[in-house]
A = this chain, B = another copy of it.
Amino acid sequence: MTEPLATGSTIGILGGGQLGRMLAVAASRLGLRAHVYEPAANPPAADVAHRVTTASYDDAAALTAFAQSVDVVTYEFENIPTSALDLIEAIRPIRPNRRTLAISQDRVEEKGFLNAIGLATAPWAAVNDAAELESALGAIGAPAILKTTRLGYDGKGQARIMTPEDAAAALTAMSGAPAVLEGFVPFTMEISVIAARALDGQVAAFDPGENVHRDGILHTTTVPARLPPARRSDAVLIAARILNALDYVGVMGVELFVTPQGLLVNEIAPRVHNSGHWTQNGCAVDQFEQHIRAVAGWPLGDGSRHSDVTMENLIGDDIDRVPALATEAGTAIHLYGKAEARAGRKMGHINRIRPRG
């Protein structure tokens, strides 16, 4: 397919969470329909999808029917079982591509790829046993953090190693899974670049945003990030290098640490990203539409920023603040339609806009 998808065409979206929901809305703006594939019943994306398939990722018949009913397939999360992707890819193109998915599913693959294309990361080493951990700690030093290489459905194993004495307990926390040791780096801030690459190789990036986390979850993203212009363009160039190296199609979230020595890549996400939600109220074309444009073979849109924005996530009980937020000047509310507000659950977000400073 080289022609842009025409009005009435259908984007298949694997995953029915809030990212799928906002992708479906963006598709509608371009006259395209969304068919959402999601194992759970009544997912957020179902409210705005033209069609929903409720089936598991090992239901070959459902996956086949889904793929046949759409024109192209994309996804809102990276941990899709390989068997499902194999089945779909035999029928329809998957964008972003399989190689990127494979890299982003494995921390060792990802860091190796980033270093191989000349990008700096925090120091790291693959760790499969106690001997490798000892050797890695010798090279990297403590404090450091041990993480399982994969973020599968089995949960995310992470353990801090503040002193070498923590090593044994940290390894136990990995439950025998392959792991990676990452050195702590002293950074002044974390930023994100939300970048997009079209089918024809055109690349565009939104202005870098400055991220603040709370309890391990993104709390706010503010644009512009407080960066000197040279760092800002470094960040965008790094994102562009990653997308080009992967022959990527779609939107990618690239998290970077800002350090006195320069920018380090923290991690990449081959999808629209929470730290790009500010674009909904800061740009004429937001990250969701940019992603749909790319996977649909359209040219990228103009993502230049018309306002300064602070995005704030509404987590768990934050939803109770909505009545007050609804009357706040300059505030746009985005709720995900989730009935139950559990602790740590992303219920929505707000974008507070201000004239460009």
> What residues make up the interface of A, taking CB atoms closer than 8 Å to B?
4, 7-8, 21, 24-25, 28-34, 46-50, 281, 284-285, 293, 298-299, 301-302, 304, 306-307, 319, 323, 326-339, 348, 351, 353, 355-356
Contact = CB atoms under 8 A, between A and B. Distances in A.
Given A7-B319, A48-B48, A336 B31 contact: yes
A228 B287 CA distance: 38
B33 A337 contact: yes
Contacts of A284: 281, 330-332, 351, 353
A337 B8 contact: yes
Contacts of A31: 335-338, 348
A8 B302 CA distance: 33
Contacts of A351: 284
A21 B32 CA distance: 13
Contacts of A4: 323, 326
A285 B332 contact: yes
B281 A335 contact: no
A-B pairs with the 6 shortest C-beta distances? A31-B335, A284-B332, A48-B48, A31-B337, A47-B50, A299-B327
A302 B328 contact: yes
23 contacts: A4-B326, A7-B335, A8-B339, A21-B28, A24-B48, A28-B48, A28-B337, A29-B332, A29-B333, A30-B333, A31-B335, A33-B47, A48-B49, A284-B331, A284-B351, A285-B332, A293-B326, A299-B327, A301-B326, A302-B331, A306-B307, A306-B353, A355-B356
Contacts of A339: 7-8
Given A28-B47, A29-B332, A304-B329, 18 more contacts: A4-B323, A4-B326, A7-B319, A7-B339, A8-B339, A25-B48, A28-B337, A30-B333, A30-B335, A32-B337, A34-B47, A48-B50, A281-B284, A299-B323, A299-B326, A299-B327, A301-B331, A302-B328
Nearest to A21: B28
Contacts of A326: 4, 293, 298-299, 301
